[in-house]
Structure 1
Amino acid sequence: MPGEVEIVDRRFADFVLGNASLERLATGMRWAEGPVYVADAGHLLVSDIPNDRILRWVEGAEMSVFRQPSNFANGHTRDRSGRLVSCEHGTRRVTRTEMDGSVTVLADSYRGRRLNSPNDVVVKSDGSVWFTDPTYGILSDYEGHKAPSELDGCYVFRFDPQTGELDVVADDMVKPNGLAFSTDETVLYVADSARTHDPGGPHHLCAYEVRDGRELHAPRVVGDVSPGVPDGLAVDDEDFLWCSAGDGVHCYAPDGTLLGRIRVPETVANCTFGDPKRNRLFIAATTSLYAIYLNRRGPQFP
């Protein structure tokens, strides 16, 4: 696969397949983000933020509109019941789409102040919803609605749907962005993408210890991502990290060792594992949706 795969560590040679190449599945978006695989329906959803829509991709069919307007939706995930959980820039909230299609607001304010613009989200096995809240959706009218921040910073939040409590679990990042749990949920990986608006700002992946299932401690930098910034990320079933970057997707070992890169011809915003065996990495990159089969598997739920 000349020009598509760069092997930095010999382990990465076992992760890629010599007869599987990068495919462009669809194009025509303005800024593709937040891919989520819906296994029981056999399709993938991806946000097209500036066009205020969520698109649906099905193998062998044309991309179709899943929801428009989408309130400038960005990141998505599914809870253990299979319900879609979404971050919306336009309404500055995190929502859950119920099985009947109705939408429930999970979080839109913290201590009486509106959230900035929830960006990416994961759901822990106990049902708690963890999300990042940088200001990207209120910096301009391109990906939301330009407005001042009402908070004192950009935080990582934990929402408990049982109690309705919303808590700050990390306040030490400048622009928290993509996030993912390790397979045993003892580590939360979070990207800080502050270099998008500050040349000297952070552009690294950070790992936090998860204690008591609800608190973050002992942050450590896993690695600096360059070119570009880390945005969305995915963790496979052996805890290797797959992170977006300016030139593609970078793969890291849990200890921060860079193993290799999958080169993509557009700036990557996010990625997720999908397909029935979860061995296909779907990549949202600027105007297009790409995919590549790997000798790796993503988590099997939901």
Structure 2
Amino acid sequence: MEKRHRSMQRRTVLQGLASVSAGVSAGVSASMSALAVSPAARAADHTAEPPPETARPADVTTTPPRQWGPSAPPAYAPDPDVIVIDRTFRDLLFSAATLHRVWDKGTWLEGPAWSAEGRYLLLSDTVTSRQYRYLWETGEVTVFRPESYHSNGNTFDYQGRQISCEHFLRRVIRWEHDGSVRVMADRYEGHALNSPNDVVAHPDGSVWFTDPGYGDGFTEGHADEPGGDANPDGRIRWRIGEELIGEIGGLKRQQDHTFRIDPSGRIECVLTQERLPNPNGLCFSPDHSRLYVISTGKQAGGYGHDGDQAVHVFDVQKDNTLSNARLLTNMHFEGVQMGPDGMKADIFGNLWCGVSGPLGLCGVFVFNPEGQLIGRIRLPHGVSNLTFGGPKRNWLFMCAGESLYRLQVNTQGAGPA
């Protein structure tokens, strides 16, 4: 028995030597071929059986693994990570364009918005509470506002004024042309807002925004006072940071709403929590006859219902009410429930939606106006939000985690010019 055991050990060692030598050179491998173990012997020798392989997610989006950043070699064109599902998507692409990571020094980038007057892209870092700008002429990214009160969504209205959603102060503000700040919304029916998230401007001068509770925590804002839905046992020191500004935003989480700020300043609820729980990203169709709103998953301290992680569409009536609610897409893809976040429409009515999910699936999904998925953009991180920018509005800018990406396309954004 002992002799047989020594023989098995010798056979295993020789097999290992044969494997190593095969990786060194073909010639050496040939000279050692006599030491190879037959399939029958391998089956009989349990020590030679490889361990069972466990399931694991894909670790690359392309093969070979793609490199990113300024020093990365040029990508192939057409870009292998820009995937055509329906031929109509090909018409929206510039075939020679490739994806580029233009900056990776953020923490959690959000709210990209293009300034036509300034020729720069504005973006928020919700965690570090800063705003940055990407300068079109140089490609440089600089600090725009060193303290943004954990801003998230941004937009520019049809007069070129910057509008921002501030998590820490739980309000929507507008920067006037003279540099002053106007608070557009911080309360509704006597209650403080939660954490305004995404915002869009309408040609009639109104501003529409969502107010979920994703900023009701100290990572991207501040938690509720003790007893509030986002601080039920009072352990979170919710007033930390107040000494920096002498004030703090709302004190307790309320229900989630989607709001419209009338040009007169009146705040109207256009979608209650019951009609659309956990509203997040939103945008208009090019003719402003439709409003698209994303319902995302329940967050920490979430009040009431859980969202369905889908994109919903409503008809905008002449009195600014929303009707004919329907599902545009449930965001199911290859058996996975993807997580939509922010979105923008192009001039043809297609919807470009940032999504999170498994590596290899996350990035950007593009739907036609009927809700059919026509194309994808794969990135190594989920996309929180995106926008069209550049002088011709034909560059797609995507915020993904700590990085900003861009892609030249053959369409234009439908937002303010």
| TM-score bin, normalised by smaller chain | over 0.9
**What stretches of structure 2 of length at least 5 have no aligned partner?**
1-77, 230-251, 357-361
Q: What is the correspondence of 1:109-124 to structure 2 with a 5 Å cutoff?
A: 109-124=187-202
For residue 159 of structure 1, the aligned residue among 228, 237, 261 is 261
Question: How big is the shift at 1:185?
Answer: 0.8
Question: How big is the shift at 1:269?
Answer: 0.4
Question: How big is the shift at 1:155?
Answer: 0.8
Instruction: Indicate if the aligned counterparts of 2:113 and 2:155 stay in contact, CA closer than 8 A.
Output: yes
Superposition TM-score, scaled by structure 2 size = 0.69
Q: 11-20 or 116-125: which moved more?
A: 11-20
Q: What is the correspondence of 1:48-63 to structure 2 with a 5 Å cutoff?
A: 48-59=125-136, 60-63=138-141
More helix by share: 2
| Structure 1 moving runs of 4+ over 6 Å | none
- Which secondary structure state, in structure 1, belongs to the residue aligned with residue 183 of structure 2? strand
More strand by share: 1
Q: Which residue of 1 aligns with 2:326?
A: 220
- Which secondary structure state, in structure 2, belongs to the residue aligned with residue 232 of structure 1? strand
- Which secondary structure state, in structure 2, belongs to the residue aligned with residue 141 of structure 1? coil
Does 1:243 pair with 2:353?
Answer: yes
Query: Which of these two proteins has the greater Rg computed from alpha carbons?
Result: 2
Q: Which residue of 1 aligns with 2:342?
A: 232
Higher relative contact order (CA 8 A, sep 6+): 1
Question: How big is the shift at 1:301?
Answer: 2.5
Q: Aligned equivalents of 1:18 and 1:90: distance in 2?
A: 42
Question: How big is the shift at 1:113?
Answer: 0.6
Q: Which residue of 2 aligns with 1:277?
A: 392
Does 1:204 pair with 2:310?
Answer: yes
Q: For the aligned residues, what is the CA RMSD? A: 1.7
Instruction: Indicate if the aligned counterparts of 1:183 and 1:239 stay in contact, CA closer than 8 A.
Output: yes
Q: 1:110 to 1:49 in 2, by over 3 A?
A: same
Letter in 2 for 1:83: R
Question: How big is the shift at 1:213?
Answer: 4.7
Q: Aligned equivalents of 2:190 and 2:102: distance in 1?
A: 43
For residue 277 of structure 2, the aligned residue among 174, 186, 189 is 174
Q: What is the correspondence of 1:137-156 to structure 2 with a 5 Å cutoff?
A: 137-138=215-216, 140-147=217-224, 148=228, 150=252, 152-156=254-258
- What's the CA shift string for 1:135-167, capped at 9, x where partnerless? 0000x21011011364652110011131x2111
Q: Which residue of 1 aligns with 2:11?
A: none
Superposition TM-score, scaled by structure 1 size = 0.95
Identity of aligned residues (%): 41
- Which secondary structure state, in structure 1, belongs to the residue aligned with residue 339 of structure 2? coil
Q: What is the correspondence of 1:1-302 to structure 2 with a 5 Å cutoff?
A: 1-59=78-136, 60-138=138-216, 140-147=217-224, 148=228, 150=252, 152-162=254-264, 164-171=265-272, 172-194=275-297, 201-226=307-332, 228-246=338-356, 247-299=362-414, 301-302=416-417
- What's the CA shift string for 1:74-108, capped at 9, x where partnerless? 00111111100111101000000011211100000
- Which secondary structure state, in structure 2, belongs to the residue aligned with residue 11 of structure 1? helix
Instruction: Indicate if the aligned counterparts of 2:278 and 2:296 stay in contact, CA closer than 8 A.
Output: yes
The number of residue pairs the alignment matches comes to 299
- Which secondary structure state, in structure 1, belongs to the residue aligned with residue 90 of structure 2? helix
Instruction: Indicate if the aligned counterparts of 1:195 and 1:203 stay in contact, CA closer than 8 A.
Output: no
Instruction: Indicate if the aligned counterparts of 1:196 and 1:229 stay in contact, CA closer than 8 A.
Output: no
Letter in 2 for 1:263: R
- Which secondary structure state, in structure 1, belongs to the residue aligned with residue 392 of structure 2? coil
Question: How big is the shift at 1:2?
Answer: 4.8
